[in-house]
Amino acid sequence: MKTVIFACVHNAGRSQMAAAFFNALSDPAKARAVSAGTQPGERVHPEVKAAMAEVAIDLSGAKPQRLTDELAQGAQWLITMGCGDACPYVPGLKRGDWPLEDPKGKSVERVREIRDDVRARVVELLASEGWAR
């Protein structure tokens, strides 16, 4: 089983969406995702929860968490999401960077666009690695 970590600064938007899409669309026998942040926020952004609910993904129980060495142990991939110089680095992991806009405080239309971009990138990753359901 492969583990992918999706990371952004606050773990309250992009990385939460990516991990949720990944876990909904991947073959659970092949891969799973977790999300984390370098400076976790207090909660997932409400506009992100609402946009994900529109596509039948419930983030009401999701909580931002810190990217720790323990969390990274056993992972194979780290995908950072638009955090620039604040992006974490974990030695030994395959790395990707998705330059995505932070959805915090954006209009519902813009959050939907970011959500759909995240989903498309997750679908592409799953297909390229052979992890799709």
CB atoms within 10 A of CB 91: 6
Band the pLDDT of 103: cuts 50, 70, 90.
very high
Q: What mean pLDDT, rounded, does the chain reach?
A: 94
Domain ranges in the chain are 2-128
How do residues 26-40 score in pLDDT, each as one tens digit? 999 999 999 999 899
What would the mean pLDDT of 83-96 be, rounded to a whole number?
82
Band the pLDDT of 129: cuts 50, 70, 90.
very high
Give the CATH number of domain 2-128; options: 1.10.420.10, 3.40.50.360, 3.40.50.2300, 2.10.109.10: 3.40.50.2300
Q: For position 24, what pLDDT does the model report?
A: 98
DSSP H/E element including 5 = strand 2-8
CA 15 to CA 57: how far, in whole Å? 14
CA 95 to CA 67: how far, in whole Å? 15
- Specify the pTM: 0.95
Q: How far is CA 50 from CA 24, 89, 128, in A?
A: 17, 30, 29
